[in-house]
Amino acid sequence: MTIWERIAEAIAALRAGESLTSVLEKLRTPPERSVAFTIAVIALGAKMAKADGRVTRDEVAAFREVFHIPKAEEANTARLYNLARQDVAGFEGYAKRVAAMFNSVEGTLTDLLEALFYIAVADGSYHAEEDDYLSRVAAIFGLSDRQFRAIRTRFVPDAEPDPWDVLGVEPDTPEDEIRARWRALVRETHPDRMMARGVPEEAVKLAEKRLVAINRAWELIGEGRA
């Protein structure tokens, strides 16, 4: 059964009255975890659109870019998006359920927040309401302000990246520890590692920006210490 067939099953359950958190609870383990990741991005993306009052064609197209949605499954994806957007439940409950599901899998919540950023800036702008929404989601996910800033600078136009934030180290950190941190981040960004923690194969390309930023941060820190 494909990921999209599993999503169709989830939509059927939602339309029958089951809550989204209940649906996600059934998808805690591999390979279902990749289905949960996809549903979480779509649902939280829908709540983000509701928060800023805008749903643009670019944002909808961004879902297709992230997940390569088959033409035959676009209607199901749209249904899930609309169900989540129309749900009276606040996004905090969704975000807490997603955090509880993925907090034992290092890196997955960062992957998920990056997907939401990708969607937020798809229309070429980044609104204050989106920034507030994503910062609150990041806090629920247990990500630090520094981690949030590091992700934000990779997606938001004119946001100047701090190489120390990107690598999560301090300026007085010994060089061998910085190098070890850089290598660890590169390993975490490998496609095999990402898929193992539940990121769908179609969405692995989200890591391209991260890898570029990680390597650039390492270069900048090295140049500054030369």
Q: Is 179 helix (H, G, I), strand (E, B) or coil?
A: helix
Q: How many domains does the chain have?
A: 1
Q: Print the domain residue range for 59.
A: 3-225
Q: What is the mean pLDDT of residues 127-147?
A: 92
Report yes or no on whether pTM surpasses 0.85.
no
Answer for the pair 108, 102: CB distance below 8 angstroms, yes or no. yes
Answer for the pair 77, 41: CB distance below 8 angstroms, yes or no. no
Peptide bond into 157 cis (omega under 30): no
Q: Is the pLDDT of residue 175 over 80?
A: yes
User: Between residues 204 and 116, which one has the greater pLDDT?
Assistant: 116
Q: Is 63 exposed, middle or buried (0-12, 13-18, 19+ CB in 10 A)?
A: buried
pLDDT per residue over 41-100, tens digit each? 888 888 887 666 655 566 666 666 666 677 777 777 777 777 777 765 678 888 888 888
pLDDT per residue over 9-31, tens digit each? 877 887 787 877 777 777 776 66
pLDDT value for 93: 82
pLDDT value for 58: 62
